[in-house]
Structure formats: C-alpha cells, structure tokens
C-alpha cells in the first residue's frame, strides 16, 4: 500500500525511491540519512533506530487515501508540485522529447500535451486518458478530498 502512495508522490513530482521488500532496516535508515530522505513506514519498530526521529515518518492510516491525508498533513505535501515531471519507472527527471523521439509514437496516440522522455529508461510519456485520470486524482488530493473512489 505504501508503494502505491510512493507512486503517487512520484506522479506529483517528488523525488521518491520505492524500495524492494526485505531490505535491511538499518541499511534503509542509513541510506535515508545519507541522501537526506524521509523514510515512510508502517513498521513501528523502525522508530527505535538511532537516526529514526529525523528521517522516519510512521504512518497510521488505513488504506491509500487515509495515508495520503496523513502524509499531506505531516509533511505539507503539494500534490500539484510538479505533476508528471519524473519517470514513473525509475524516478529520473523527464525531458521534453525531441521531434525524432516523438515520431516513435503512433500518430493516433498523439495528444495535445507535451511528450516527455526518460533518458534512463528510453521511455516516452504523452498525455492520454491514463494521464488525464491521474491528473484528476492529484487534483482531488490537492483540494483536500481524500475519500476513496
């Protein structure tokens, strides 16, 4: 569930790492400290680590929307920060696609919006119904509406 929340943070443009299951707590925390990140968790024992106070945020909410609301209050998240500015797969900042890259997208798929490109994944992103739905979702959270669909 926190992975889902992490994906929404990334969609909103926040620099967000999504961790593999089963990584060692102490290493995760060390990395959070080193990279000056905040580790989101539902795992209370994590708070017992030495550096926990400044780098760990324990979420109590039930389900995605509850946790999103809790996170918004605690960290002042702006869900309209920089929507769709990062690659959903790898977190890299996206660039505007060149004309040549755009040509890889079938003509029928071209929307009106910008086409963006991830240099790390060699993946193109363009405005479509999926992005449209995600924009509406971010908009709702931005307006403080955290009701589940």
Please state the closest distance from residue 67 (CB atom) to Zn ion, in A.
25
Nearer to Zn ion, 72 or 92 (CB): 92
Task: Choose the binding region for Zn ion from 9-17, 36-44, 71-79, 110-118 (rule: CB under 5 A).
Answer: 110-118
Does 87 participate in binding Zn ion (rule CB under 5 A)?
A: yes
User: From the CB of residue 114, how many other CB atoms can be counted at a distance below 10 Å?
Assistant: 13
Q: Out of 26, 47, 75, 89, name the contact with Zn ion by CB under 5 A.
A: 89
Q: Out of 3, 27, 120, 133, name the contact with Zn ion by CB under 5 A.
A: 120
Count, residues near Zn ion per rule CB under 5 A: 7
Does 90 participate in binding Zn ion (rule CB under 5 A)?
A: yes
What is residue 93's DSSP assignment?
Answer: B
Complete DSSP assignment for 94-140: PEEPPHHHHTTS-GGG--SS--EEETTTTEEE---HHHHHHHHHHHH
Q: Beta strand 56-58 with 39-41: parallel, antiparallel or unpaired?
A: parallel
């Amino acid at each position: 569930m926190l992975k889902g929340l992490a994906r929404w943070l990334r969609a909103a443009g926040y620099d967000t790492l999504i961790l593999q299951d089963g990584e060692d707590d102490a290493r995760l925390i060390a990395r959070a400290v080193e990279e000056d990140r905040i580790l989101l968790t539902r795992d209370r024992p994590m708070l017992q680590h030495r550096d926990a106070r400044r780098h760990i945020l324990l979420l109590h909410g039930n389900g995605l929307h509850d946790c999103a609301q809790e996170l918004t209050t605690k960290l002042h998240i702006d869900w309209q920060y920089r929507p769709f500015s990062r690659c959903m797969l790898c977190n890299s900042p996206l660039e505007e696609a060149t004309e040549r890259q755009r040509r890889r997208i079938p003509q029928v798929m071209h929307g009106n919006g910008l086409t963006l490109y991830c240099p790390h994944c060699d993946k193109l992103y363009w405005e479509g119904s999926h992005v449209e739905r995600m924009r509406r979702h971010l908009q709702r959270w931005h307006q403080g509406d955290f009701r589940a669909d």
